[in-house]
Structure 1
Amino acid sequence: MSNPTPLLRVSDVSKRFGGVQAVGGVSLDLAPEEIIGIIGPNGAGKTSFFNLVSGMHIPDSGTVEFDGQDITRMNSTDRARAGIGRTFQIVRPFSGMTVAENVMVPLLVNNAHVSTAHKKSLELLEDLDIHHLADTPTEALTLAQRKRVEVARALATDPKLLLLDEVLAGLNSREVVSVLPFVKRVRDRGVAILMIEHIVSAVMEVSDRMMVLDHGKVIAHGVPESVIKDPKVVEAYLGAE
């Protein structure tokens, strides 16, 4: 993280849905090859914030800059082409296809030759320790395996920034422990990461910094060890005494 210029700069973004303020004036800088974990209670605005970064929603106010370009009004497809990849809470692999074929789809969209796409898909699956499942139909996968396929598909777009939306949700403790190393490996490939999770200990283990949202606003931001001791964070999770 020697480059001081942020890869992602989100400045005072807000989004309202009817009478609900989903995101209220959130700002964030993310450096290349940095991991920032985003935590907060249910309904805190975490996924809504992700949607503003990925282009699924356009902010009512504020700006989003990525790799030196203002992308505030850019749609999600163009943001993906610019280098923003993401996963989703609910994993939906393409049915009737193998694991390798699922990962090949985004590669072929980027005009790779079929043989090249197949080779690259196998390399991504090996990185995520699921290369042995390459020829397995996605319907036969466990939840943990489907989530790794989701990450592989996102990486197939060759992102500079990866948004991980609860890749640990629904996993048991052993599966959670097995996932954390490949999150770090993704970062070591030169990819910056924003990750939403509810398992605070896991977020602390992999994150350089953490941001806590509550009711659409940032209530704490900094190194993990300080953030989790912040009285506002304790109150948000446990309630006032």
Structure 2
Amino acid sequence: MGNSLLSVKSVTKRFGGIQAVGGISLELDHKEIIGIIGPNGAGKTSFFNLLSGMFIPDSGTITFDGREITRTDPATRARMGVGRTFQVVRPFKGMTVAENVMVPLLVHDATVSKAHSKAVELLGDLGIPQLADTPTEALTLAQRKRVEVARALATEPKLLLLDEVLAGLNSREVIDVLPFVTTVRDRGVTILMIEHIVSAVLEVSDRMMVLDHGKVIAEGDPQTVIKDPQVIEAYLGSEE
């Protein structure tokens, strides 16, 4: 895949005696959605931290949009088009939803009025224009998750790393939020998503990757991967 947007080759990361990421390789094409699953402690968020620049790998290389970024800082990666959400959603308090989305937009746009109109437009594209003037303190968890996605999109990413954007939601809220993933892809954004809700990953992913103890134990077509004996064992073994 010479034209891949993201190319990861054998990245590793250790913390003391623990290998958090053990030689992961990945090729991600433009406008592809790859779902990453695995039991707790599998290395999923550590892998995202390597991709976003919060961690520097001990070995291996990361190439994004034709440029090697293995040791590049998070701000540079964000400017290049690597966007990210976090497991714990922390909107800016004392501000409305539109103002929250305006913060990253103001990095690109000099005027407040232009940033505001773009923020409202973005909320409209994501189907939540009614939240624009809502104070963040008044939002439900599901709404905060959507605002987090909107803020990440405001950085104009080419690649969006979604870290458990469905975590903590009930089944009704998952049904409401899940279409956001394909809406984002339809905007031309490539997506890597970590998720515990396997059925959700199956629904939206083009490919699935399963991590266990920092290593890839299965990758490919989601319906095939989920039936892999190693994957079944990894999940059953994590419920002790």
TM-score (normalizing by structure 2): 0.97
Aligned-pair CA distance for 1:117: 0.6
Aligned-pair CA distance for 1:18: 1.0
Distance 1:117 1:69 in 2: 29
Aligned-pair CA distance for 1:239: 2.7
Contiguous gaps of at least 5 residues in structure 1: none
Equivalent position to 1:167, from 145, 165, 168: 165
Equivalent position to 1:228, from 226, 229, 233: 226
Give the count of matched residue pairs.
238
- Per the alignment, residue 21 of structure 1 pairs with 19
Contiguous gaps of at least 5 residues in structure 2: none
Distance 1:4 1:172 in 2: 40
AA in 2 matched with 1:108 = L
- Per the alignment, residue 150 of structure 1 pairs with 148
1:77-88 counterparts in 2 under 5 A? 77-88=75-86
* Residue identity (%): 77
Q: CA RMSD in A?
A: 1.2
Aligned-pair CA distance for 1:196: 0.2
Equivalent position to 1:206, from 177, 182, 204: 204
Distance 1:239 1:90 in 2: 26
Distance 2:203 2:224 in 1: 14
- Per the alignment, residue 74 of structure 1 pairs with 72
Distance 1:162 1:21 in 2: 25
**Does the 8 Å CA contact 1:213/1:219 hold for their aligned counterparts?**
yes
> Runs of 4 or more off by more than 2 Å in structure 1?
none
Distance 1:239 1:62 in 2: 29
Please state whether the residue corresponding to 1:36 is helix, strand or coil: strand
**Does the 8 Å CA contact 1:4/1:31 hold for their aligned counterparts?**
no
- Per the alignment, residue 30 of structure 2 pairs with 32
Distance 1:148 1:205 in 2: 18
Is structure 2 residue 177 aligned with structure 1 residue 179? yes
Distance 2:134 2:9 in 1: 43
Please state whether the residue corresponding to 2:178 is helix, strand or coil: helix
AA in 2 matched with 1:34 = E
Aligned-pair CA distance for 1:148: 0.5
**Does the 8 Å CA contact 1:22/1:216 hold for their aligned counterparts?**
yes
